[in-house]
Amino acid sequence: DEFISSPPRKTVRFGGTLTEILLKYEKGDTTDFELLKHQLSDPDIKDAQIINWLHEFRASVAYLTKELEQLVNILLKLPWLRRSREVVEEYLGFLGNLVSAQTVHLRPCLRMIVSQFVPPRITIREDDVDISDSDDDDENISENFDTCHRALQTVARYVPSTPQFLMPILVEFFPFINKSERTLECYVHNLLRVTVYLPTLRLQILELIIEKLLKLDVSTPQQDIEDAEETANNCASEEKSTEEGLFDMEEDEDRKGNKVVSPSAERMAHPLAERLDILMTILFSYIKDVCHVDGKLDISNTKDLYRDLVSVFDKLILPTHASCHVQYFMFYICSFKLGLAEAFLDHLWKKLQDPNNPSVIRQTAGSYIGSFLARAKFIPIVTVKACLDLLVNWLHKYIDNQDTGANAYCDVALHGPFYSTCQAVFYTLIFRHKQLLDGNLRKGLSYLQSLNFERIVMCQLNPLKICIPSVVNLFAAITRKYQLVFCYTIIERNNRQFIPVVRSGTGGDLVQTCTNPLDSFFPFDPYILKRSKKTIDPMYQFWEELSAEDLENLKKPIKKGTSEDEDDDFLKGETPQNDGVVEIAPNSYESNTRSPVSSIGSPADCYVPYPL
């Protein structure tokens, strides 16, 4: 009954079979050809019609030469993705036949597939005006993406040179950063899926994605993100206070029983930061999935991905000044295995000590070493000591070579890598001195004394004058407490030599003091993107605020023979709750004190009074 009642499949022919129509076209008879194009372009074309035409086209691909490019383009615009399974399978078969017989159409086929890597747009027009243009929340979008990847794999199977033609197209179709979060999310996710079945493209695709992420990152300074969050929180508080009293007591009680986290609590207030957060979450997930097979770390996969990521790091991240978040892909992959973290440190160390590298690259490598050693919880103290030994020995050799030369004076342009290394050592000591002294205070002190900080601090190159004041002040306090070196005389002398810089502006003359002549930054300062920070926080060493009591204790030297049990709160990492909390500057490359809202960053630009 079903067969009898169903209508026959529509087959419309203009003057015969497809082959006949194409032969007539070659002889100059275009009537049937134009009708064919018209039917294929019909927005109301039925599934059965598409299947019939595709079946015939598959048998006639030999005729679809360069001269019939216009007809092929119409075929590539057929709405095949959102059709029945039969249409999809027939279309995939057609694509395979087309590219294998006529490679001249490879690029248009690839462009058609890649154009489907983002959600379709729905445009609503009224009186020739677009009143709505938004992403289509198609519930089958995931299935459509799967089909696109099947199509790409089909083409790649028939044409081995597909990767070299595909990469420029992937670059061309990358959405602008002002496109919707969903568009960017889908495109990046699909790019990363391509690396799974076209591994030769992985390095280039990672470069492309990280380059775009880097542009987002440097377009959204950390201070702008924090300001946007503060403004949003203030607005939310005002709205909340306005709404109070609108609900009766019973409803309020019901609400208290069910704590619901608002989805907006996960969103970043800054629109570009929101995009960056989503894309960083995808990148972290990709790294985890590639490196783990069935929940276990796959060493071979991890090493291969590490090599690609280090290559991207060298090419894009290292030359970029003051990016805030993107570099954390290296932090994350290094957390999987200590060997990777040590390999990364060794890689940076080679960059730092190689005199053939530009000075700015060597300085940045020094900043990465210091920040990585200080912030990565997964790096054991044994590795920290090994790195300190390397860095400090290099500093002493540098001093040996300079002390007798004509350049033995304080100059950032001449000795940038030296100052950057000094700052890395000081910064590491500030964060790690508790662990270095843990367990056996006498042994720990003996190790720190062996580093001979006094010679570094007192040398003609005067590193305390160049390093960031917040780092210098805490280093001076800690080294004085353990009687390693007395820095305050030099700090006082340096302060007297500072020459203020006067700049004229619209509001009158502004007197500034350059507190960061190195123009240095700490690349692993706190990560503040809400979603993706959940991946980083468990392995991240936060700086604990110094209370007034901690600062007071730092002024008291350790007496000889003191037992380890008499360690002060600062060394134990405890933060007593009292009112005398010192603010902490979140961006350590700016030494000016910030508001408490942003007090989650690097060591405070605190003032430890000079001892009398």
Tell me: the pLDDT tens digits for 107-144? 999 999 999 999 987 666 565 665 555 555 667 888 99
**For residue 606, pLDDT beyond 70:** no
At 271, which amino acid appears? P
Other beta carbons within 10 angstroms of residue 375's beta carbon come to 25
Instruction: Say if strands 292-293 and 121-126 run parallel, antiparallel, or are unpaired.
Output: unpaired
**For residue 561, pLDDT beyond 50:** no
Higher pLDDT, 3 or 143: 143
Q: Per mean pLDDT, which range of 78-92, 166-180, 233-247 is the poorest?
A: 233-247
- Domain assignment present for residue 357? The answer is no
* Number of domains forming the structure of the chain: 3
For residue 237, name the pLDDT band (cuts at 50, 70, 90): confident
3-class secondary-structure state, position 131? strand
In the chain, pLDDT over 90 holds for what percent of residues? Answer: 52
Tracing tokens 């990358």 back to the chain, one arrives at 174
Other beta carbons within 10 angstroms of residue 168's beta carbon come to 11
Task: Give yes or no: residues 325 and 196 share one domain.
Answer: yes
Q: Per mean pLDDT, which range of 330-339, 370-379, 425-434, 507-516 is the poorest?
A: 507-516
pLDDT at residue 602 in the model? 54
The Cα 169–Cα 110 span in angstroms is 8
Kindly report the average pLDDT of the chain as a whole number.
81
For residue 581, name the pLDDT band (cuts at 50, 70, 90): very low
- Domain assignment present for residue 93? The answer is yes
Domain final residue pick, 163, 197, 214: 163
Task: Give yes or no: residues 542 and 456 share one domain.
Answer: no
Other beta carbons within 10 angstroms of residue 547's beta carbon come to 20
Q: Give the residue numbers spanning the domain of 376.
A: 364-502
The Cα 79–Cα 43 span in angstroms is 8
**Residue 27: closest CA among 61, 53, 54, 63:** 63
Task: Give yes or no: residues 28 and 82 share one domain.
Answer: yes
Greatest distance between any 2 Cα atoms in the chain: 106
Tell me: the pLDDT tens digits for 267-290? 998 999 999 999 999 999 999 999
Instruction: Count each helix (H run) and each strand (E run) in the chain, helices first.
Output: 28, 6
The predicted model gives 136-164 an average pLDDT of: 89
The Cα 44–Cα 36 span in angstroms is 14
- Domain assignment present for residue 257? The answer is no
pTM, entire model: 0.82
**For residue 583, pLDDT beyond 50:** no
Q: In the numeric block, which tokens belong to residue 233?
A: 């929180």
pLDDT at residue 545 in the model? 66
Task: Give yes or no: residues 188 and 332 share one domain.
Answer: yes
**Residue 270: closest CA among 236, 222, 237:** 222
For residue 343, name the pLDDT band (cuts at 50, 70, 90): very high
For residue 575, name the pLDDT band (cuts at 50, 70, 90): very low
Q: Are 90 and 55 in contact (CB under 8 A)?
A: yes
**For residue 363, pLDDT beyond 50:** yes
Task: Give yes or no: residues 431 and 385 share one domain.
Answer: yes
pLDDT at residue 266 in the model? 81
Other beta carbons within 10 angstroms of residue 318's beta carbon come to 19
- Domain assignment present for residue 226? The answer is yes
User: At 50, phi and psi to the nearest 5?
Assistant: -60, -45
pLDDT at residue 559 in the model? 54
Task: Give yes or no: residues 438 and 332 share one domain.
Answer: no
- Domain assignment present for residue 297? The answer is yes
Task: Give yes or no: residues 370 and 412 share one domain.
Answer: yes
Task: Give yes or no: residues 209 and 297 share one domain.
Answer: yes
pLDDT at residue 554 in the model? 65
Q: Per mean pLDDT, which range of 99-103, 259-263, 455-459 is the poorest?
A: 259-263
pLDDT at residue 290 in the model? 96
Dihedral angle, C-alpha 149, 155, 156, 161, nearest 10 °:
-140
Q: Are 591 and 470 in contact (CB under 8 A)?
A: yes
The Cα 555–Cα 188 span in angstroms is 52
User: At 456, phi and psi to the nearest 5?
Assistant: -65, -45
Higher pLDDT, 26 or 157: 157
Task: Give yes or no: residues 146 and 185 share one domain.
Answer: no
Q: In the numeric block, which tokens belong to residue 531?
A: 């979603």
Tell me: the pLDDT tens digits for 520-549? 778 999 999 999 999 999 999 998 766 556
pLDDT at residue 410 in the model? 76
DSSP 127: T
pLDDT at residue 593 in the model? 28
The Cα 274–Cα 2 span in angstroms is 54
Other beta carbons within 10 angstroms of residue 271's beta carbon come to 14
Task: Give yes or no: residues 433 and 492 share one domain.
Answer: yes
Q: Per mean pLDDT, which range of 22-31, 113-122, 232-241 is the poorest?
A: 232-241
Task: Give yes or no: residues 222 and 200 share one domain.
Answer: yes
- Domain assignment present for residue 591? The answer is no
At 317, which amino acid appears? I
pLDDT at residue 282 in the model? 97
Higher pLDDT, 594 or 359: 359
Q: How far is CA 155 from CA 38, 91, 203, 227, 270, in A?
A: 27, 12, 21, 49, 40
Mark 252-270 as b/e (b = at least 16 C-beta within 10 Å): eeeeeeeeeeeeeeebbbb
pLDDT at residue 579 in the model? 34
Task: Give yes or no: residues 178 and 322 share one domain.
Answer: yes
